[in-house]
Amino acid sequence: MAKKDEKTANKSTAKRGAKAYDASSIQVLEGLEPVRKRPGMYIGTTGSEGLHHLIWEIFDNARDEAMVNRCDDIEVALLPNGYVRVADNGNGIPVGIHPKTKVSALETIMTTLHAGGKFDNEAYKFSGGLHGVGASVVNALSEHAKVVVHQDGNMHMQEYKIGKSLAKVKKIGTTKSHGTIVFFKPDETIFKEGIVFSFDKIVNHLRQQAYLVKGTRISVVDAHDDERAFEYERIFIRETELDVPSMTFYFEGGLKSFVSFYNKHQTLINKKIFYIEKEQDKVIVEIAFQYIDDITPHIMAFANNIYNPEGGTHITGFKTALTRSLNVYGRAANILKEKDENFTGDDVLEGITAVVSVKLSEVQFEGQTKGKLGSTEAQSAVATVFGSALAEFLEESPDDAKAIINKVSLALRARKAAKAAKDSVLRKGALDGMTLPGKLADCQVKDAEEAEIFIVEGDSAGGSSKQGRDRRTQAILPLRGKILNVERARIDRMLASVEIRALIVALGTAIGDVFDISKLRYHKVIIATDADVDGAHIRTLLLTLFYRHFRQVVEGGYIYIAQPPLYKISRGKDVRYAYSDEEKETVLKDMGVASEDVSEVEDGEVEPQPEAEDAKEEKDTKNTKPKRVTKVNIQRYKGLGEMNPSELWETTMDPEHRVLKRVRIEDAQSADRIFEILMGTDVPSRKSFIQSNAKLANIDV
């Protein structure tokens, strides 16, 4: 009977097509194997963000030394062949034998998860790396790593391959310095998009850190073209004779300098920057803020100097105290009358630039990437310290206080007017999702994951794309002209725009406080504008709209930019498309028509130049017939409307052949600044930006 039951069970398993689940099914991952098996759990992604996260993890270890006053100089250097070098003048990682692991403490830290000095509150009162996985995770995801420690007059070194030590820690010389140098080369089998570091991204991140650890010198060195960078055993490359690009940051003003830098060239509301640093219930609270003439808030949150893009408990405490304090002052100063309603959180945040930093001994983040602070004690500490200091600031700075209250009062009135306008629009049914705009040619599928919408420029492009599309999955929404610049526009002005209203209804998410990402009707929102200056402007206006009012759509990876070709090149039956001038030259060369052989371009026709007279004479003497020259036809597309439906499908809309660029937010703070500069009212900053980046632009003249 038992055998029969066993056979029945095996048949049942076979029917399900599954392997039997027994003790052998349980995997035990040893050492650093879990990191390589699931790298996303530790660094978020194996794309560019995760690649740079490796640098942040090692840098954070050095930065934590600075936070406990054991280090005041840190250097990050890019080396040849994808290597990174992070050095500091701290005490150096201990190299003695660890009592539990029976190997060097250095090897323990580099090869064991959840091992490090951050668990010891006596060694590190405040640190960002309380999980104890930073150095070991970087080591696990690197094909090669090396650590050199300068300590107690000696230099020690150990090398690793894919997280495993190649030999014991060994002494390699003597030294008068102290500190740690970490080399690592990310593993290309993990980071399959390629090992490409962005110098600008690193500079921006480390500049930010220099504001947070005032009095610490932080340098970035680009030595990726100089092999000699590997040879130096000195702590810092910048002290050698290498002539390589570098940048150094050092700020005594801390967060005040940070706010001042961010608000450079802005119209200031309160001239004096608010600043407070104080310890409350074993939590160090440091806050700086200033209002500018803008409607968008810019709040940067940090816990133990780790940037928290999603905020957390410290931001909750900040917003609560700010709202309460301004309401109390507004009532006391009789600016808010008895009949007036209180300021809301949205009112007091309009136009504020704030940096909120807390330091805790037992910090709790939501997730390994530390995007959101979860420590409850931070909320009460921030609310108490900030609330008390702000009340004092408002009393001692009456001119700034009046300017702030007037700014917030204006925001309150504008919010009420915008709400009335929005409610009026909603009552008319323009955004109720029941009736789609007439200009929208919708697709047949209802599954958002399959559906995609092309936002095209003008009726002619709309006509071609509607005829050339796949009606089952592709929707077309033509926009007429340039939409409203929403960088400084409130929602009532936006809803007055027919084009923006049509786009909002087509997307299905609504907008503002009723926005709902789950109702997005298309999981590919494709901006398809012409490849000229006007097209680029329209694309920028659309991106500004999405970034400011449909942020979750951008963050979800649903926004794409189509890449239509610039040229159609045909020679006989050989037809090809070129997406740039460089690609056009390559195609012509491949067809046997070099650019110097082209005599003229007129009505799309290009003919090779006539052969030289001496070449003709030579052919005549050999009694050979001249080779027949086939005309090369080059069509320069000035817009999508010039392409017939089949061409548009083949080059821009066919999922099998098209090229789409997904819009990502790699650095939200930098993105904020770029949108402000390009689309705001700060003319000097925009002029400076254009002059600095003019050489990078592809200009269609």
Sort 698 into a burial class: Cβ within 10 Å, 0-12 / 13-18 / 19+. Answer: exposed
% of the chain surpassing 90 pLDDT: 44
65 is catalytic: no
pLDDT at 681: 58
| Secondary structure in 3-state letters for 129-140 | CCCCCHHHHHHH
pLDDT at 414: 82
CATH number of 33-249: 3.30.565.10
pLDDT at 390 > cutoff 90: yes
What is the three-class DSSP state of 360? coil
The CA distance from 443 to 452, in Å, is: 8
Q: Select from 222, 168, 172 the least CA-distant residue to 197.
A: 222
Q: Select from 204, 240, 249 the least CA-distant residue to 79.
A: 240
Choice among 222, 226, 400, 457 that is catalytic: 457
Backbone phi and psi for residue 498, each to the nearest 5 degrees, phi listed first: -60, -40
Answer yes or no: are the C-beta atoms of 507 and 559 closer than 8 Å.
Answer: no
Backbone phi and psi for residue 662, each to the nearest 5 degrees, phi listed first: -80, 135
Please, what sign has the CA dihedral across residues 501, 505, 509, 513? positive
Answer yes or no: are the C-beta atoms of 95 and 175 closer than 8 Å.
Answer: no
Helices 668-679 and 199-212 pack at an angle, to 10 degrees, of: 100
Residue pLDDT, tens place only, 86-142? 999 999 999 998 888 888 999 989 988 865 544 344 444 555 443 335 899 999 999
pLDDT band at 17 (very low <50, low <70, confident <90, very high): very low
Choice among 534, 583, 607, 642 that is catalytic: 534
The CA distance from 171 to 152, in Å, is: 12
pLDDT at 596 > cutoff 60: no
Q: Which residue has the higher pLDDT, 449 or 574?
A: 449
The CA distance from 178 to 115, in Å, is: 22
CATH number of 255-423: 3.30.230.10
Say how many C-beta atoms besides its own lie within 10 A of residue 618's C-beta. 12
- Tell me what the mean pLDDT of segment 351-369 comes to: 86
Q: Which residue has the higher pLDDT, 134 or 289?
A: 289
Q: Select from 251, 230, 258 the least CA-distant residue to 242.
A: 230
Please, what sign has the CA dihedral across residues 423, 425, 430, 431? negative
Residue/partner pairs of 276-280 with CB below 8 Å, 24 or more apart = 276/385, 276/386, 276/389, 278/385, 278/389, 280/381, 280/384, 280/385
Q: Select from 564, 603, 571, 535 the least CA-distant residue to 468.
A: 564
Q: Select from 555, 49, 134, 114 the least CA-distant residue to 304.
A: 134
The CA distance from 498 to 527, in Å, is: 18
Answer yes or no: are the C-beta atoms of 403 and 291 closer than 8 Å.
Answer: yes
The single-letter code of the amino acid at 303 is A
pLDDT at 158 > cutoff 90: yes
457 is catalytic: yes
The CA distance from 145 to 136, in Å, is: 11
233 is catalytic: no
pLDDT at 124: 47
User: What is the enclosing helix (H) or strand (E) of 185?
Assistant: strand 179-186
The CA distance from 559 to 346, in Å, is: 27
Say how many C-beta atoms besides its own lie within 10 A of residue 674's C-beta. 14
As a whole number of angstroms, the longest Cα–Cα distance in the chain is 106
Q: Select from 157, 245, 257 the least CA-distant residue to 207.
A: 257
Q: Which residue has the higher pLDDT, 374 or 231?
A: 374
Say how many C-beta atoms besides its own lie within 10 A of residue 579's C-beta. 15
Choice among 72, 532, 583, 607 that is catalytic: 532
Query: Best-predicted range by mean pLDDT among 464-473, 503-512, 582-591, 630-639?
Result: 464-473
Answer yes or no: are the C-beta atoms of 553 and 509 closer than 8 Å.
Answer: yes
pLDDT at 250: 94
- In this structure, what token pair is assigned to residue 315? 């931001």
pLDDT at 361: 83
Residue pLDDT, tens place only, 296-330? 899 999 998 888 988 999 999 999 999 999 999 99
pTM reported for the whole predicted model: 0.65
Sort 299 into a burial class: Cβ within 10 Å, 0-12 / 13-18 / 19+. Answer: middle
The matching CATH number, chosen from 3.90.1150.10, 3.40.50.670, 3.30.460.20, 3.30.428.10, for 428-561 is: 3.40.50.670
Choice among 64, 75, 499, 530 that is catalytic: 530
pLDDT at 264: 85
The CA distance from 117 to 122, in Å, is: 9
Ranges of each domain in the chain: 33-249, 255-423, 428-561, 671-701
Angle at 468 between CA 462 and CA 469, to 5 degrees: 85
Query: Best-predicted range by mean pLDDT among 83-92, 456-465, 660-669, 680-689?
Result: 83-92
Q: How many CA atoms lie within 13 A of 245 on its CB side?
A: 8
The CA distance from 204 to 153, in Å, is: 35
pLDDT band at 682 (very low <50, low <70, confident <90, very high): low
423 is catalytic: no
The CA distance from 363 to 568, in Å, is: 59
What is the three-class DSSP state of 294? coil
pLDDT band at 560 (very low <50, low <70, confident <90, very high): very high
What is the pLDDT of the chain when averaged over all its residues?
82
Give Cβ neighbours of residue 439 (< 8 Å, ≥ 6 apart): 462, 477, 478, 502
